[in-house]
Structure 1
Amino acid sequence: MRGAGWTVHGDGRSPLPGAVVRPDERLSWGRTVGLGVVHAVLPPAVTGAVVLLIGFNLAPVAAGTYWPQDQWTALLTLLFTGFALVALRGFWGRVAIFLGLLFGYGVSWLFDRVFGRIGVKHTPAGHTGGHWRLDLHRVGDAPWFGWPSTHAPAFDGSAVLVALPVVIVLIAENVGHVKAVGEMTGDRLDSVLGTAIAADGGTTVLATALGGPATTTYAENIGVMAATRICSAAAYWAAAGFAILFGLCPKFGAVIAAVPGGITVILYGMIGLLGARIWVDNRVDLGNPLNLVPIAGGVVAGIGNVTLRITDTFSLSGIALGTILVLAGYHALRLAAPAHLREREAPGGG
């Protein structure tokens, strides 16, 4: 299968070293210099930590939003999805995540019929409260087509200055995502780092010019790639097109809002472990305090959603704060570290 400069051999299932072949890896002088800067600023110790904290930062979402809908439905969905990802082959293996969703819907529907609503409180006056595991009442009320509202952007100098440092976080996040995909496909993908960052910046400019939010690459999609092992660029072009079409359909959004929990536990964990794989593949020495200290502080701050209040109206928390602690801490400690610690850093820092 071909798409966007990628050739995926066989059935398109990765990761297999050599499964993804980039036809032209020759880089211009400008790209070579740019990649040198990126690798110097974002070495594997930093990018691995960023990917790891992105994945594990989502753990509270799985635990606090999806799992409580019904813990037994979530557990059964998790177990079935894990079985499908490991045991199924061919077409069914590629759609294992989708099968997990269908399984979750089916179990939720069955439990509603057998056990009734969940969370019902028994009072002297009767039964009150509770909710259905599979609540589709909003689907019928939602329209088939909805156009997003747009408005002209407003500029505030102080807000711009406050937000600019966050751009560094987004660049680090993008680089971490590209590195994570590279680990899955067996291709370093260095030649497209600049393209990915520029595309993210360009789409952010376009979205905010119409009054929308800033854009970014989504770790959830990388989790799906890791789970299904489908890394075909053509498949994701098609997925992007369908996402745009379905984004204009509020009824589809209502269906997605009723998705049962369980699958997210696997997907978010896979994202975090891709960060650890970056450390392993690049032989990052976690016994070296130069790596260990900033990673330890940044990862805990990112996963724990620690908040740093800078002013009454601006604060840093979660992924943003964790990334800054890892990035700034690593380079600050490197300046102060003795030579023998700097020499212990991982070789081949790609």
Structure 2
Amino acid sequence: MGTLGSTKLGLGWTTHGDGKRIGPGSVVSPQERLSWPRTIGIGAQHVVAMFGATFLVPLLTGFPPSTTLLFSGVGTILFLLITAGRVPSYLGSSFAFIAPIGAAMNQHGMGGALGGLVMAGAVLFVVGLIVHKAGTHWIQMVMPPVVTGSIVALIGLNLAPTAKLNFEQGAVTGLVTVAAILLTTVLFRGLLGRLSILMGVLAGYVTAIFRGEVDFSSINDAAWFGLPPFHAPEFHLSVVGLFIPVVLVLVAENIGHVKSVAAMTGQDLDPYTGRALMADGLATVLAGSGGGSGTTTYAENIGVMAASKVYSTAAYWVAGVIAVLLSLFPKFGAAIATVPPGVLGGAGVVLYGMIGILGVRIWVQNRVNFANPINLSVAGVSLVVGIANFTWSIGELTFEGIALGTGAALLIFHGMSAIARWRGTEPLDSAEDSGVKPSKLG
């Protein structure tokens, strides 16, 4: 295969300068790398950056942490191959899947939830294929900022009861976890400040140990080396409405990630947007087929790249390989699984709230005009439906708050806009306020 084959797979990195220093105003591009010792060190930083969030999802959903870690590493390597090494990214656990996984497990157990992940991943792959052929403009038309922000906000706020349930099982521990997350955010700079969730979980865990809330028996029973536990998916029509709306969030996250990296590296990565979506879709299908959590591109690792000025995909290969190797230590996975409910509740209070406010941030960044009755109706109705977790069953199909809220946002925006145009009552600024800034979707 030689050099040409390596280049097509994104493995033909050139050494940046002398491999040791990065000059003022320059960055290490995705096709470059520093010396291998330095590249390995930066790859290890990426593992630390993704660690807290990637492990938190399986802990909150009841999935095996080591299996999720394995598929996040494999998914990252798959992503790098499909994008030909042009888009540096780690594929970690997606928080958008937490609510649908919980609902599906209540109905059909872990197999049913995994089946939902597989279906969502397949739909995301198809969307990526369309984007690869037709571009991203149509997504902006279907999901303007008022709709995107509403969907992201309702997914986070829909999880509020789950956070409360866990928090009440260890209120003191949960309070320490929340306080540690908030304090870490403002006390430290650089990588440590960006790892506030991980630091908060560690502080809460230590508190839980002193309070006798941690059971270490599972660690003693686990082997030192071995494959993580796998679980086969089961497919139920009733979970379709739970998982498909999450695809809209994954689309926004992936496109936002590609555009962010393009802006920081000065490279045109638009031709690889469709590939990124297809890769994330395949990674989610693979994870759902074996017992891992659904994946998404990780903003946490963008912080590492911005701080180090190293956007080399070689570092992400290192991170993916390290994640796979760590998953082969059952004692490690068993130790992670001992995190008690109080810690998870505290982390959930902050995390779910942040997800909700990210939706508000999309509105603010795009200057969505809520004096417009269409925008006001889209956000108001969809949020109430999502937060109250409205449920609608049709035969075997069950639609809960996230699905119904997502459908409401899309239907209300496009329906009201179409009627207003027909009747001539459309507000002059039906989408955004004047002076609108580019959205996460471009």
TM-score norm. by structure 1 comes to 0.69
Q: Provide the secondary structure at the position in 2 that maps to 1:315.
A: strand
Structure 2 partner of 1:55: 156
Equivalent position of 2:189 in the other structure? 89
Instruction: Output the amino acid matched with 1:215.
Output: G
Tell me: CA distance 1:283–1:275, structure 2 relative to 1, closer, same or farther (3 Å). Answer: same
**TM-aligned CA deviation for residue 310 of structure 1:** 1.6
2:146–2:368: 8 Å Cα contact kept in structure 1? yes
- Cα RMSD for the two superposed structures: 4.0
**Contact 1:177 1:217 (C-alpha < 8 Å) held by counterparts:** yes
Instruction: Report how far residue 82 of structure 1 moved.
Output: 0.9
Unaligned runs of 5+ in 1: 13-22, 25-29, 113-131
Q: 1:93 to 1:216 in 2, by over 3 A?
A: closer
Letter matched to residue 223 of structure 2: P
- Partners of 1:64 and 1:177 in 2: CA distance: 28
CA deviation map 1:30-83 (0-9, x unaligned): 869421111111111111112212222232232212x12311121122112211
Q: Contact conserved, 2:148 with 2:359, CA < 8 A, in 1? A: yes
Q: Corresponding residue for 2:59?
A: none
The Cα shift of 1:99 comes to: 2.7
**Aligned counterpart for 2:248 among listed residues 158, 172, 175:** 172
Q: Structure 2, unaligned stretches of length 5 or more?
A: 1-26, 34-41, 46-85, 88-130
Post-superposition Cα deviations, 1:214-270, rounded to whole Å, max 9, x if no partner, equal 83438xx55x569xx445666766555444444444433332233223233222222
The CA deviation at 1:288 is 1.6
Give a deviation string over 1:113-163, Cα, whole Å, max 9, x none: xxxxxxxxxxxxxxxxxxx32222222223332344466x888xxx67x77
Preserved CA contact (<8 Å) 1:185 1:231: no
Contact 1:180 1:278 in 2 (8 A): no
- Displacement of 1:331 in angstroms is 1.4
Q: Does 1:336 align with 2:419?
A: yes
> Quick one: which amino acid aligns to residue 98 of structure 1?
L
- Which residue, out of 169, 173, 177, partners 1:77? 177
- Structure 1 44/186 Cα, relative in aligned 2: closer, same or farther at 3 Å? farther
Tell me if structure 1 keeps the 8 A contact 2:150–2:409.
Answer: yes
Say whether the 8 Å CA contact 1:51–1:176 is kept in structure 2.
no
Q: Larger % of helix: which?
A: 2
Residue of 323, 331, 338 corresponding to 2:406:
323
Q: Is the CA contact (8 Å cut-off) linking 2:178 and 2:347 kept in structure 1? A: yes
Structure 2 contact 392–399 (Cα < 8 Å) conserved: yes
- Inter-partner Cα distance in structure 2 for 1:319 and 1:87: 35
Describe the SS at the equivalent of 2:392.
strand
Q: Using the alignment, how far apart are the partners of 2:325 and 2:151 within structure 1?
A: 31
Once the two structures are superposed, what CA deviation does each residue of 1:72-103 show, in whole Å capped at 9, x if it has no partner?
A: 12112211221111111245434443332222
- Residue of structure 1 in register with 2:280 after alignment: 200
Change beyond 3 A, Cα 1:109–1:231: same
TM-score by length of 2: 0.56
Do the aligned partners of residues 212 and 81 (structure 1) sit closer, same or farther apart at CA in structure 2, a change above 3 Å counting?
closer
Give me the whole-angstrom Cα distance separating, in 2, the residues matched to 1:82 and 1:216.
26
Query: In the alignment, residue 84 of structure 1 is paired with which amino acid?
Result: T
Q: Is the 8 A contact 1:334 1:342 kept in 2?
A: no
What is residue 142 of structure 1 aligned with on the other side? 222
Q: How does 1:241-252 map to 2 (within 5 A)?
A: 241-252=321-332
Q: Which moved more, 1:186-195 or 1:67-76?
A: 186-195
8 Å Cα contact 2:149/2:363 also seen in 1: yes
- With over 3 angstroms needed to count, the CA separation of the structure-2 counterparts of 1:328 and 1:238, relative to structure 1, is farther
Task: Confirm or deny: 8 A CA contact 2:382 2:405 kept in the other structure.
Answer: yes
